[in-house]
């Protein structure tokens, strides 16, 4: 997954950001790493948060090679005390906070409800919802004092359309609405809160577990079936929502899905099977 070649415009020059899940599982560039690299290339100073410091260190080294500024904060964003410490370390390093990107999330709690372990439900909610709530709660006072005042949460189209998942979809749906509540709760103080909802994005982790036929189905089912989305697509949408270009955008859920949430079921069926349905 090559680095994008679009020009750097300094869209986040002078701004500071915390990005959770800033490492990548496996080789290549996942969404958190792509967001971090792009933010740094646009002038942001970035706190790279990950449970695994080694993964985040790879991101930091790549940012440093490009002349950017970042540092690693290892921590568990499902733990309230850890979230407070992460924010405190970012403030000590940067002195202010302009943007919080809640990117941590993981598919958990799949399968039929009666067969799902309760621990899988709670783990899924903790990773995909609680982490964003806890990080935002810790960061809010400092975001309101900063210049950027932006929260961008990374959800999923599974929070918009049902996928038959036990906890992942419901947690992402709750994250989307939590973001709307943030936008209303703090909007009078200048805070903007928005969501990016990735669709069938191909990342190194997804590729590892995707059979070639499944990968082809994921691509073909979208309206933009000639294109396969990757982590950079999510990163550019996040960059826009965190930048001053989106100064009058708040409470928005932006699908980055190639139009998969827009296409009708019969059209999607035709895309995947090649059969023509009678409408």
Indicate which residue of 121, 168, 178, 186 is catalytic: 168
Does 279 score more than 60 pLDDT? no
Count Cβ atoms below 10 Å from residue 72 Cβ, excluding itself: 23
Percent of the chain with pLDDT over 70: 93
Report the pLDDT averaged over residues 147-157. 97
Residue 79's closest CA among 18, 141, 127?
127
User: What pTM, to 2 d.p., does this model score?
Assistant: 0.93
Predicted confidence (pLDDT) per residue in 156-168, tens digit: 999 999 888 888 9
Domains located in the chain, CATH noted: 16-200+227-258 (3.40.50.720)
Helices (H), 201-264: 204-209, 212-220, 231-242
Our answer to whether residue 186 is catalytic in this structure is no
Alpha-carbon span 266 to 257, nearest angstrom? 18
Does 204 score more than 90 pLDDT? no
Confidence of residue 144 (pLDDT cuts 50, 70, 90): very high
Residue 33's closest CA among 56, 1, 8, 52?
56
């Amino acid at each position: 997954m090559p680095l994008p070649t679009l020009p750097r415009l300094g869209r986040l020059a002078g701004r500071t950001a915390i990005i959770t899940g800033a490492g990548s599982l496996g080789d290549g560039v996942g969404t958190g790493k792509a967001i971090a690299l792009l933010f740094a290339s646009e002038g942001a100073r970035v706190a790279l948060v990950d449970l695994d410091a080694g993964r985040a260190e790879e991101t930091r080294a790549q940012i440093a090679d490009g002349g950017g500024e970042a540092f690693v904060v290892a921590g568990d964003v499902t733990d309230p005390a850890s979230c407070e410490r992460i924010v405190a370390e970012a403030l000590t390093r940067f002195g202010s906070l302009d943007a919080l990107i809640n990117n941590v999330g993981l598919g958990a709690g799949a399968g039929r409800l009666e067969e799902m372990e309760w621990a899988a439900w709670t783990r899924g909610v903790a990773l995909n919802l609680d982490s964003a709530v806890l990080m935002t709660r810790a960061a809010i006072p400092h975001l309101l004092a900063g210049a950027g005042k932006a929260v961008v949460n990374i959800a999923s189209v599974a929070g918009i359309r049902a996928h038959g998942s036990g906890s992942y979809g419901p947690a992402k749906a709750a994250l989307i609405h939590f973001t709307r509540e943030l936008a209303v709760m703090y909007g009078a103080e200048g805070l903007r809160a928005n969501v990016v909802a990735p669709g069938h994005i191909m990342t190194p982790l997804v590729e590892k577990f995707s059979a070639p036929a499944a990968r082809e189905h994921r691509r073909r089912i979208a309206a933009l079936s000639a294109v396969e989305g990757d982590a950079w697509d999510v990163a550019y949408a996040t960059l826009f929502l965190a930048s001053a270009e989106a100064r009058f955008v708040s409470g928005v859920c932006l699908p980055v899905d190639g139009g998969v949430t827009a296409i009708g079921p019969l059209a999607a069926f035709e895309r995947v099977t090649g059969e023509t349905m009678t409408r």
